[in-house]
Amino acid sequence: MILRVLCFLLIVSSGATAQTPLRRFELKANSAKFWELIPKTAQLEKVSSGMGFTEGPVWDEAGFVYVSDEVFNKILRVYPDGHKEELISLGDPDGNTYDAQHRLIDCASVLRAILRIQPNGTYTVLADRFQGKRFNSPNDVVLGPDGAIYFTDPTSDLPKDQKQELDFQGVFRLDSHGEVRLLTKDLTEPNGLAFSPDGKRLYVDDSAQRNIRVYDFLPNGTLANGRIFGEEPGVKGEGVPDGMRVDRAGNLYVTGPKGIWVWNAAGQHLGTIVVPEQPANLAWGDPDSKTLYITATTSLYKIKTNAVGFVPYLTP
C-alpha cells in the first residue's frame, strides 16, 4: 500500500523491527451513537508487532489471524500471544478473505492475480486476466452474497518494471467457474470494499479521491446507481480510505486519516478510533465477532466493541 515503502525505509534505516507509535490511542465521537458501538472504556491492545507493512487481516475460528506482510512478502498466522507462523512466502500479498467453502483467497499484487491458498501453503491462481489482459495489482477482496468473489484492481502496487495492460482501474466479480466480469471502472483508485448485511449494497472506497461510494447490488451480480456515500479528507501522510468492514446493523468501519472512521448506513460519520500506527485494513474476529482486528503499519491491534460484526463466511 501507499505507506509500506516509507515503513520499509524506516525499518532499514533504524535497524528496528517496529516503528515508534505515531500518535496515541483515542476515541473521538461525533455522535452519541458512536458510544453505542465503541464503549468509552474500550482499550486498544497490540497483539503483535515487528512486521514490515501489515494488511489483509482474516480471523480464523482456530484462534489466529491471517495477516499479509507486504514488505517481507509473507502471509502469517498471528496468535493471541503475539507469536507468528509463516503460511506462505509470496510477492506482495494484500487483501484476504475466505470463499464460500472457507478457503483462503488472496490478492497477490506482484503476481497480479487472485489466489486460493491451501493450509499447507500451496496455491492456485484463480484469475489473473480480464479479456486477455493482465490485471493491474489486485488489492482487496470480499465474499459476495451470491457466493462469488469481488475484488478491486488499482495500479497502486503495479510493479514498476511491468506494463499496465488495462487502461482503467476496476472492480470485478469472479464466479466459481473462473469467469471474470467487470462491474465498474468509474473509480480513480478503487481499494477497500464491503457488502451491506442484507446484500443490497456494495461499498467501495477510492483512495485517490478520498471518498466512499455505494452501489445498488442487483440479483444478477451487477451494480447500479453509484453515488458518493461519504468523504474522508486529510493531509498527506495521515492515511486514505482503505480497508472496510460492516457490522450486522449496517454501520461501516473504514480505515482513513489517523484511524478507523465509523459511519452509519445513512452516511453520517459517527466518530473515529485513532490508532497509534496508520491502519490499512481490519476484520471482525473472536467467537462473538465483536472484536475488530486492525492491521496498522508494523503491527496488529485489536479492540473490543459493542457491535457484532458481519462476517459473510460465518454469518447465516
Residue 120 placed within a domain: yes
Q: How far is C-alpha 291 from the chain's CA centre?
A: 16
User: What is the per-residue pLDDT for 236?
Assistant: 86
Report phi then psi at 34, rounded to 5. Answer: -60, -40
Among 250, 252, 137, residue whose Cα is nearest residue 193? 252
| Host domain of residue 57 | 4-13+23-304
Residue 313 placed within a domain: no
**Residues in the chain, pLDDT under 70:** 1-22, 316
Cell 517496529, residue located: 18
Q: CATH no. for residue 132?
A: 2.120.10.30
User: What is the per-residue pLDDT for 314?
Assistant: 83
User: What is the per-residue pLDDT for 229?
Assistant: 98
User: What is the per-residue pLDDT for 313?
Assistant: 85
Total number of domains in the chain: 1
Query: How many angstroms separate the CA atoms of 163 and 177, rounded?
Result: 28
User: What is the per-residue pLDDT for 22?
Assistant: 60
Among 47, 53, 45, 88, residue whose Cα is nearest residue 65? 47
User: What is the per-residue pLDDT for 316?
Assistant: 65
Distances in Å between the Cα of 47 and the Cα atoms of 77, 82, 257 are 12, 5, 22
Residue 311 placed within a domain: no
The H or E element that residue 5 is part of is helix 4-14
For residue 237, give the amino acid letter: G
User: What is the per-residue pLDDT for 3?
Assistant: 46
Query: How many angstroms separate the CA atoms of 123 and 151, rounded?
Result: 18
Distances in Å between the Cα of 270 and the Cα atoms of 64, 201, 264, 267 are 30, 20, 7, 9
Residue 218 placed within a domain: yes
Residue 202 placed within a domain: yes
Residue 233 placed within a domain: yes
Residue 316 placed within a domain: no
Residue 312 placed within a domain: no
